[in-house]
Amino acid sequence: MNIVILSRNPELYSTQRLVDEGKKRGHAVEIIDPLKCDIIIEKEKPTIYYKDRYLDYVDAVIPRIGASITFYGCAVVRQFEEMGIFTIAPSDAITRSRDKLRSLQRLSKAGIGMPKTVFTNYSRDVEEVINYVGGTPVIIKLLEGTQGLGVVLAETKNAAESVLEAFNGLQARVIVQEFIKEAKGADLRALVVDGQVVGAMKRQGKEGEFRSNLHRGGSANIIKLDEDELKLAMKAAKVLKLPVCGVDMLQSSRGPLLLEVNSTPGLEGIEGATQKNIAKAIITFIERNTI
């Protein structure tokens, strides 16, 4: 089988692990930069040209598309879909998951628990916005932020007002979200493959840091999810139609609360914490759907 990994950085841990596991199982695995793909739109014959060849021999695609190239990266994935090629993350699902507001609206309608959240086209009545989510402290997030960037903890009304004014001045869209104090700077990441949780870890922010992202110095340990946490992770993946994804949630006094769903989750942290071969699970998922 010919597998293509769409990635701009072939040296990334996740990319290399997928290459290694694919080759171990006897597949040809190729890393392709999506920004160097030419999309050829022709009647009844959609194709992709890359460097010196047409990619008409591909059997499966693994998108590892960064947030900064979502538009073009998803266009490339969509073209592979038009060619009848299997992808572990459909282009429409990636687009939905990258839009925090859209995905939260969809997940909320499906009955999935999450922190109280407000989106406003900038309101000068900050006090009203804060009251909607239960008062300060509050979390203010950029809709396009990733890896903990663009996430601010505002502990007072004045701080929240200052942050909102600053983002407004930059014409940046944000959501205001309830701060879950009992989570104590930790969150859970569940890795879903083919609708099942194949690994889970608890990420703890470093001392004095409310964000638990490993990229920001957090630590991770294996955790066994309870029934409610498992159900939330699997339902969120199903609602966003992402067979392979990372589901982030908080432990709260009213049960697990969803933070977001990541369509291209990193493998380094969760494989290290759980000692589970997540890359192999992804490759075998592809095999079940293409062979």
**CATH number of the domain bearing residue 80:** 3.40.50.20
Q: CA-CA distance, 187 to 202, in Å (whole number)?
A: 6
Q: For residue range 59-77, what is the model confidence (pLDDT) as tens digits?
A: 999 999 998 899 999 999 9
- At residue 220, the pLDDT reads 85
Q: Residue 92: inside a domain, yes or no?
A: no
Q: For residue range 118-173, what is the model confidence (pLDDT) as tens digits?
A: 987 666 677 788 888 888 899 998 876 555 567 888 988 888 888 888 887 777 77
DSSP 185: T
- Here the CATH number for the domain that contains residue 268 is 3.30.470.20
Q: CA-CA distance, 37 to 77, in Å (whole number)?
A: 11
- Here the CATH number for the domain that contains residue 136 is 3.30.1490.20
Same domain, 195 and 272: yes
What does each C-alpha distance from 261 to 25, 95, 218, 275 come to in angstroms? 29, 12, 19, 22
The tally of domains found in the chain comes to 3
Same domain, 273 and 152: no
Same domain, 59 and 194: no
Same domain, 198 and 271: yes
Q: Which domain holds residue 59?
A: 2-87
- pLDDT tier at 3, thresholds 50, 70, 90: very high
Q: Residue 57: inside a domain, yes or no?
A: yes
Q: Residue 291: inside a domain, yes or no?
A: no
Q: Residue 290: inside a domain, yes or no?
A: no
Decide: 172 and 232 in contact? Cβ < 8 Å: no
Mean residue pLDDT of the chain comes to 90
For residue 144, the one-letter residue type is: E
Alpha helices per DSSP H over 115-226: 126-132, 157-169
φ/ψ region of 111 (left if φ > 0, alpha if ψ in -120 to 50, else beta) reads left
Question: How are the residues of the chain apportioned to helix, strand and coil, as percentages rounded to the nearest 5?
Answer: 35, 30, 35
